Amino acid sequence: MKKSFGHMIADKFDIPIEGIKTMPCAQFIGNTMLNIDGCMGIKKYENEEIIIRTQTYLLTIVGQSLSMLMFSEGRVSIRGEIFCYRISEL
């Protein structure tokens, strides 16, 4: 039986697969696009600040002309001029 990528990572680093499945992942594309997997909800949504809630932390994105392109099944895509981000515990 072929293992999924998550199972291979869990085996390699000796981490329970449950930890891999709930781990959020953020991908920046320059300073104009951000994709986040593991999104549990949107706490704040404004033109200059968006706060994303994951299972383990809050991710605050600060910028200009921010907008969500997609929010579906735990994934969110944000577009705009991204100045900085902050991570804080729940």
Position 63 scores a pLDDT of: 97
Residues sharing a CB contact under 8 Å with residue 65, sequence separation 6 or more, in sequence order: 47, 80, 81
| Average pLDDT for 80-86 | 94
pLDDT one-digit tens code per residue, 17-59: 665 555 678 889 999 999 998 889 999 999 999 999 988 889 9
Instruction: Establish if 45 belongs to a structural domain.
Output: yes
Task: Pick 6 or 64 by higher pLDDT.
Answer: 64
Instruction: Establish if 9 belongs to a structural domain.
Output: no
Strands of 25-29's sheet, edge to edge?
A: 25-29, 33-37, 75-89, 57-72, 49-54, 39-45
* CA separation, residue 80 to residues 18, 42, 55, 62 (Å): 33, 17, 25, 10
Task: Pick 75 or 20 by higher pLDDT.
Answer: 75
Instruction: Establish if 6 belongs to a structural domain.
Output: no
Instruction: Establish if 4 belongs to a structural domain.
Output: no
Instruction: Establish if 18 belongs to a structural domain.
Output: no
Which CATH number goes with the domain that contains 82?
2.60.40.2000
Position 11 scores a pLDDT of: 74
Instruction: Establish if 53 belongs to a structural domain.
Output: yes
In the chain, how many domains are there? 1
Q: Can you give the C-alpha Rg of the chain in angstroms? A: 15
Find the domain containing 78 and state its range: 24-89
Instruction: Establish if 67 belongs to a structural domain.
Output: yes
Instruction: Establish if 8 belongs to a structural domain.
Output: no
Position 5 scores a pLDDT of: 56
